[in-house]
Structure 1
Amino acid sequence: MPSSYSRVLMSISAAVLAAVGLAGSFLPRESLRWLGSPPSVPLELMLQVLGALSLGFAMLDWMARHTVIGGIYGRPVVVGNLLHFASGALALAKGLLRVPEARLLWPLALVYAALALGFAVAMFRHPARRTAPPSGGGAEAARGEPAA
């Protein structure tokens, strides 16, 4: 059974990616306008493709939220998320330093940095182990089945 840390991290990641993905996929023109960028067809198409990518990653995280991650467990999912959130946080921070008037992106940059840190911890942290089987011992107790 995954730790609550894993479940919470994967659920938050899925929610953030779903929000970004839905905005990019279904509201590209409005998203560009909100960011202060003039709408253009190539930018709208790029936002839609990136939104689809974010939605796919959101579904991956949502469906993997009940799996064990940490240490060697779930390494591909952890590494993919770590790379996405770390490079995204760095790109957002770099962009915000160059264009300070885009301060509406600071919350997203901070969320990305926090999720990058969360996945870095998950990557190097061994998932919680059960120290002793439930009372009663035996194979049934180890599987969580009630004793007969």
Structure 2
Amino acid sequence: MNTKLLMTLSSVFMAATGLAFSFFPQEFLTTFNEPASPIMMLILQLLGALYLGFAMLNYMAKGSIMGGIYNRPIAIGNFMHFLVAGLALLKSTPGLAVPQLWGLAVIYAGFALAFGFVVFTHPKAVKA
């Protein structure tokens, strides 16, 4: 698997999410018809900071060997993030009936599968 592409795509996705949460929390909440209380806006901004940090981690590690024992903490962290968040989205989506959440659930499931593959397989040798 091309882990450089996977790490780049995940970092772009997380950076976009982090920027949206950090700079547009009120707009995000109104999209889902939620009240824009100060505490919810603060929580979204803190979540945005987490996403931006994870995006930078993935971007900085994109050139490294991934899989098996190589960069295992980064691969496991990504796998757990996307798996748990994807399961939470799938669990909550039928009750919320918001089409945007179905799209997010598909994106998270795709990243979870890809990082699961990276975690549980060994990297292929690069031919010189």
TM-score (norm 2): 0.95
Residues 27-66 of structure 1 mapped to structure 2, 5 A cutoff: 27-66=24-63
User: Percent identity at matched positions?
Assistant: 44
CA distance in 2 between counterparts of 1:70 and 1:44 reads: 37
Structure 2 counterpart of 1:108: 104
**Is 2:62 the partner of 1:81?**
no
**Is 2:127 the partner of 1:124?**
no
Specify every segment of 5 or more residues in structure 1 that has no aligned partner in the other structure, as ranges.
135-148
| Deviation at residue 37 of structure 1 after TM alignment | 1.2
More helix by share: 2
- Give, as a single letter, the amino acid of the residue that structure 2 aligns with 1:118: A
Aligned residues: 128
Structure 2 counterpart of 1:26: 23
Aligned 8 A contact 1:96 1:105 in 2:
yes
Provide, for residues 93-144 of structure 1, a one-character-per-residue CA deviation record: whole Å limited to 9, x for no partner. 11112211x222211111111000000000111111146xx5xxxxxxxxxx
CA distance in 2 between counterparts of 1:56 and 1:105 reads: 23
- Give, as a single letter, the amino acid of the residue that structure 2 aligns with 1:17: M
Specify every segment of 5 or more residues in structure 2 that has no aligned partner in the other structure, as ranges.
none
- Larger Rg over CA atoms: 1
